[in-house]
Structure 1
Amino acid sequence: MEDIRKGMPVLARHAGEWVGVYTHVDTDNNLIDRHKSHLTCTFPAEGPHAYHQTNVYTWDDGRQETHVFPATYRAGRIFWDTDRIEGHAWEVDPRTVCLYWERKNMPGWYLYEMIQLSDCGNHRGRTWHWFENDQLVRRTCIKETRLK
């Protein structure tokens, strides 16, 4: 099996726990939603998934959601196919990972995500561009700091 850490060294630098805030806006930059996040990114030594991410979202009113995203690795990319999303990610340069994914419960929608990791590895910025029927309808900005 190919070694994901060698094939995707930028992604490998994301291992650990991250806390941050997701801010969702419409195309006029009106706030749609804002919530806190706690993500855990791991690279299991055994099993069918080379990458595993758990996202915990918390809103100010106490609501909480947890989503799990195991991924396989091949040919320099990771691939998701979960009950929630299907997509893949690839590295662009020494700081950047890009993702393309579709939400299975939202036919006609797809997203592109770009993640920038700081040189020190403790900060990252992420942006999502949401498209419905090939039209930009929403953006998400995420600011995160490494917890551990």
Structure 2
Amino acid sequence: MSNIREEMPVLARHEGDWAGTYTLVDIAGKILDQYESHLTCQFPENSPYPYYQINRYKWSDGKKEEYEFPGMYSDKKLLFDTERIQGKAWEADDSVVILWFSYKTSPEMNLYEMIYISPDNNYRARTWHWFKNHQIFQRTLIQEERLR
């Protein structure tokens, strides 16, 4: 079995807990939504999934959502296939991971995410580019700090 930590060292640097803010904007830059996040990135031992991520979101009106993303690993790619999404992630260079995924309930829609991690591993900047029928229609801007 391939070792995800060794073959995807940039991804391995994301292990831990992250707090941040998601800001969803339309193509003109108008804010559509904004909410807080707490993400946990794990590489569990003795698990069927070599990668496991939990995303927790909280809005100012009290609304909360939580999603789990078990990930498989193959050929220097992280693969997701859950009830909700299908996708894959790969490393672009020594600071960036690219993620592509689509929602199973909306096959005409997909997104690309660029995830940048700082050299000290304490800050992340992420952008989602949302496409519907191959046309961009919104973006999500994410700033995060590692929780200590």
Shorter-chain TM-score range: over 0.9
Could you say which residue in structure 1 is the equivalent of 2:100?
Answer: 100
Could you say which residue in structure 1 is the equivalent of 2:67?
Answer: 67
C-alpha deviation, 1:103, in angstroms: 1.0
Please give the alpha-carbon distance, in whole angstroms, between the structure 2 residues aligned to 1:60 and 1:106. 27
Please give the alpha-carbon distance, in whole angstroms, between the structure 2 residues aligned to 1:106 and 1:21. 25
The amino acid that maps onto 1:84 is R
TM-score by length of 1: 0.98
What's the RMSD between the two structures over aligned residues? 0.6
Could you say which residue in structure 2 is the equivalent of 1:2?
Answer: 2
Runs of 4 or more above 6 Å deviation: none
Residues 1-148 of structure 1 correspond to what in structure 2 (within 5 A)? 1-148=1-148
TM-score by length of 2: 0.98
**Which blocks of at least 5 consecutive residues in structure 2 are unaligned?**
none
Please give the alpha-carbon distance, in whole angstroms, between the structure 2 residues aligned to 1:5 and 1:137. 35
Of all paired residues, the percent bearing the same amino acid is: 49
Deviations 1:79-121 (A, max 9, x none): 0000111000000100000011001122300100000000000
**Matched residue pairs, number?**
148
